[in-house]
Chain A
């Protein structure tokens, strides 16, 4: 009996679909670009000068899913004494969308959020409070704001030396004696080096210095930016291989290598000042490709609305998040992982 053509077609079509579909899916997959979604891997690996993946920085940031926690003064004028109303904390997507309040305390000032290395928690008010990133519920912490690599403790330099405080139990480590009291602002991801700034030190008005976390050795000064000016607010990249700092009229980046005499190889990348503005204090994204900062116009003042911006290090492309209100330019912002 000769099979009818429609019956053959009836059998052949599903078979063809079954055979061809996986192949086309594979083709489609190979043609698809890799996901840009940030993974917040530990230990971190940073590639500050990695080529842009999408020309449009806003779109690239949208695809990463990164978020930021920022402290905002309400968009109201200051008092006649120049005092702005207290800040509240907000969550915002890195592309500027989705502004959402975290705190609603108009009579209290919330400021200087600092994300733990694993991205699961952040402190604010210099470690006075702790927030779980999932629940966004704050609680008292009485810690510092420089996290240790294990994301369990914070380090502060007191007159007794450097003390690490367990953020959950409040237990303090024995103090590590240091040559002098310093205001540590960051700790390398291997937990071995503190970085900070000292005024009027070693004959310089401003210096960026580093010190072994075990207190051994002297305080070591990093070379100032050749143009001089700022030299403050140093921040390690999450992998501890790079640092950015406010070099006065712009944001500068260099390698951090404590094995070298100056702690760096001498090469400095200074981002274009017309894009960055004056006194930028940078916070690195977890992948090291982006740095958040507040752009203050040159010869301007931070006491006016200065927008929070993100710069892509590789090509100095910037976007402005520009939420309403005033963002303090001294690290009133930090990165958070994408929402799960």
Chain B
């Protein structure tokens, strides 16, 4: 039974108005909505980050998130199917005659039973289809750590879906959206000065110390290091050093894509930081401005995230492979986004020892001229930018895997 468009039917006796929130906020546990629908007039045309698609329904984008009593979406035909949520009877249709106003109609008892059964089936289908966000819990514990031929510890991350971005106030370039990343290995720590010097033969860092992260690094220096490290480990280099194009099919080292970086940083979290939302607790996992120290610190001294990766927040900014595009998230592919094809600046992630807490957020996107080495302006205080490497899983001849405690 379909309610006419624009009608307000919650039950035969009552009506209820629900205020939709257009974007999810960080800091909430993932909540699923089994729904299908089409783009709402006042939202961008992209899948809603909290949407888990109902496999029995036609494809469409889930667009809106509702505070109460449930979560739902507008369907192409003006209706919405929502199942099994408190406060909204299963099978209820939702009408959205105006942006910001959503109306529910309670179904009849028979419809409700059928809908609940379908919801249960759908949940099973969704879970089995793998459209589930990946976290260490869902992935069966901490991922293995492998040691590369060159002696560097890398964490072997499973592929999976996650919500990239956030609805942080004032940030226009990080709208949340669902992204799938393929499995990859990532350095457990930022590249240290000792590691860099061993491969590149020099150490440009401002704040010297073998265990400190290498800094004052141009993007191209980082990419060149990746290639050199690939050569040393007998892998095929990923970068063309004339064009700096990245061959993602190569098994050699490269800089992480922005999506890979955030996936590795979040470790299944949806909060501002990998551990939660409180900047006050950031000092447990990060060296940043409020820890009050000058310069970066030796890597791996703070608590790692749930994947077992260290210093994803703070210490030094980390170059990503991607060009920066402010609008990129609006059009990026859902699977393995690799950034805009061209641009003037490259992405930096994670914040550094001199960054405010909000710049260390998992979703915060920084950009910088790839030639930036912070060696002139204020070079006496800088030393902000470093990097870490990733590679395809199983590349090289690493030492037998071990599980990190």
Q: Which residue from chain B places its CB closest to the CB of A159 in the assembled complex?
A: B367
- Asked if residues B367 and A199 are in contact (CB atoms below 8 Å), the reply is no
- Asked if residues A112 and B378 are in contact (CB atoms below 8 Å), the reply is yes
Q: Does A298 contact B (CB under 8 A)?
A: no
User: What 1/0 flags go to B158-191 for Cβ under 8 Å of A?
Assistant: 0000000000001011000000000000000000
- Asked if residues A200 and B377 are in contact (CB atoms below 8 Å), the reply is no
- Asked if residues A159 and B366 are in contact (CB atoms below 8 Å), the reply is yes
User: What 1/0 flags go to A124-159 for Cβ under 8 Å of B?
Assistant: 001000000000000000100000000000000001
- Asked if residues A198 and B380 are in contact (CB atoms below 8 Å), the reply is no
Q: Which of B173, B294, B365, B367 contacts A86 (CB 8 A)?
A: B294
- Chain B residues, CB < 8 A from A109: 294, 381
Partner-contacting stretch, out of B96-104, B238-246, B303-311, B368-376: B368-376
Q: Does A225 contact B (CB under 8 A)?
A: no
Indicate whether A328 sits within 8 Å of B380 (C-beta atoms), given known contacts A109-B294, A198-B369, A199-B372: yes
- Asked if residues B381 and A181 are in contact (CB atoms below 8 Å), the reply is no
Cα A148 to Cα B128 in complex, Å, equals 59
- Chain A residues, CB < 8 A from B376: 197, 199, 232, 330
**How close is A110's CB to chain B, nearest CB, in angstroms?**
11
**How close is A48's CB to chain B, nearest CB, in angstroms?**
24
Q: Which residue from chain A places its CB closest to the CB of B294 in the assembled complex?
A: A109
- Asked if residues A199 and B371 are in contact (CB atoms below 8 Å), the reply is yes
Q: Does A183 contact B (CB under 8 A)?
A: yes
Q: Which residue from chain A places its CB closest to the CB of B368 in the assembled complex?
A: A181
- Asked if residues A160 and B377 are in contact (CB atoms below 8 Å), the reply is no
User: What 1/0 flags go to B111-133 for Cβ under 8 Å of A?
Assistant: 00000000000000000000000
- Chain A residues, CB < 8 A from B326: 159
Number of interface residues of B (CB under 8 A): 29
Q: Does A339 contact B (CB under 8 A)?
A: no
- Asked if residues B380 and A302 are in contact (CB atoms below 8 Å), the reply is yes
Interface of A, helix, strand, loop or mixed by DSSP: loop
- Asked if residues A181 and B372 are in contact (CB atoms below 8 Å), the reply is no
- Chain A residues, CB < 8 A from B52: none
Q: Does A104 contact B (CB under 8 A)?
A: no
Within B246-296, which residues are at the interface with A (CB < 8 Å)?
292, 294-295
Within A73-111, which residues are at the interface with B (CB < 8 Å)?
81-83, 86, 108-109, 111
Q: Which of A142, A181, A328, A332 contacts B345 (CB 8 A)?
A: A181
Q: Does B379 contact A (CB under 8 A)?
A: yes
- Asked if residues B367 and A181 are in contact (CB atoms below 8 Å), the reply is yes
- Asked if residues B379 and A330 are in contact (CB atoms below 8 Å), the reply is yes
Q: Does B344 contact A (CB under 8 A)?
A: yes
Q: Which residue from chain A places its CB closest to the CB of B375 in the assembled complex?
A: A199
Q: Which residue from chain B places its CB closest to the CB of A232 in the assembled complex?
A: B376
Q: Which residue from chain A places its CB closest to the CB of B365 in the assembled complex?
A: A159
- Please give me the 7 A-B residue pairs with the lowest Cβ-Cβ distance, nearest first: A200-B371, A81-B208, A328-B380, A199-B371, A330-B378, A109-B294, A180-B344
Q: List 9 A-B contacts (CB under 8 A).
A: A111-B380, A181-B367, A199-B369, A199-B371, A200-B370, A328-B380, A328-B381, A330-B378, A330-B379
Q: Which residues of A contact B (CB under 8 A)?
A: 81-83, 86, 108-109, 111-112, 126, 142, 159-160, 180-181, 183, 185, 197-201, 232-233, 302, 328-332
